[in-house]
Amino acid sequence: MPDLNQQITALNDQIRSAVNASGRDPNAVRLIAASKQRSAEDIRGALQAGVLDYGENYVQEAIEKITELKDSAAIWHFIGPIQSNKTRDIAESFDWVHSVDRLRIAQRLNDQRPADLPKLKVLVQVNIGNEDSKSGCRPEASQVLCEQILQLPRLQLQGLMCIPPATDDIAEQAQAFVTMAQLRQSIISTGIAEKNMTELSMGMSGDFPAAIQAGATMIRIGTAIFGPRQR
C-alpha cells in the first residue's frame, strides 16, 4: 500500500496541471476515488487526505464499507454494472449512480429511492466505443434515456458517464472524450436543460489528463491513489 497522502498530493498536482493546461476552472473537476477492493481503513486514510467522494462497483462490498463509515463525510457513487436485483441496495445507500444504462434500471432506482432521502443523482452511462463487452447505452439511445429519466420524480439527472476503450494512445483517448463532450452538447441542444447535464464522468488513472482536456467534471481514479489492485 503506497503512502496515501503522498499519492493524493501527487495526483492533485497532476489534476491541477491538466486543468490549467486546458484553461478550465480549477474547481470544475471533482476527484472520485475508485475504491473497489479497498478496505474501509484505506478509505479512512483517503478521507484524512481530503478526498470526499468514493466510487464503488460491487454492491455487497460497498454496503459493508458504507455501514462502517456511516459517521464519515464520504459521498458514495455507484460506478459498476447494475443488476436489477441490486437496485434496492443501491437506491438506499448511494448518493450518486453513474452507470444507469437502461430504463428498467432507472425505474427501479426511482421506485426504490427512500422518501426521506434526497433525490438520487444519476448519470447515463454511454458505451462510447460501441464495444460488445462494455455496459452503457448506445450513443444514439442516450438522448431518449435522458428524457425518460427526467420523468422519474425520485431521480435527478446530472449528465453522462463513459468507460472508453482502454488505450495508451493519447489521440485515441482524446477522441472518445471529445465525442462524449459533443454528445452532451447535442443532448442539450435538443432541449434537455443544462442543469440536468452538468456532469461528464470520464477519465481513469491511465487517461484522466485527456478527459480533463475534453471537459470531464468527474474523474474516477483507483490505481493512481491506492496502487495496483489484486486479480
> Site residues (CB under 6 A) for ligand PLP?
34, 36, 57, 79, 163, 204-206, 220-224
CB 216 within 8 A of CB 200: yes
- Closer residue to ligand PLP (CB): 163 or 197: 163
Q: How far is CA 156 from CA 30, 118, 120, 164, in A?
A: 18, 9, 6, 24
Minimum distance of ligand PLP from residue 222's CB (angstroms): 3
Q: How far is CA 88 from CA 112, 177, 199, in A?
A: 6, 31, 24
Q: Which residue is nearest to ligand PLP (CB)?
A: 222
CB 182 within 8 A of CB 174: no
Cβ-based neighbour number of residue 165 at 10 Å? 16
- Closer residue to ligand PLP (CB): 93 or 125: 125
In angstroms, the CA 3 to CA 7 distance is 6
- Closer residue to ligand PLP (CB): 98 or 192: 98
Minimum distance of ligand PLP from residue 205's CB (angstroms): 3
- Closer residue to ligand PLP (CB): 124 or 224: 224
In angstroms, the CA 106 to CA 147 distance is 11
Minimum distance of ligand PLP from residue 168's CB (angstroms): 12
- Closer residue to ligand PLP (CB): 79 or 192: 79
**In the block, which residue shows the cell 468514493?**
54
Minimum distance of ligand PLP from residue 145's CB (angstroms): 18
Name the 3-class secondary structure at 75. strand
Minimum distance of ligand PLP from residue 57's CB (angstroms): 5
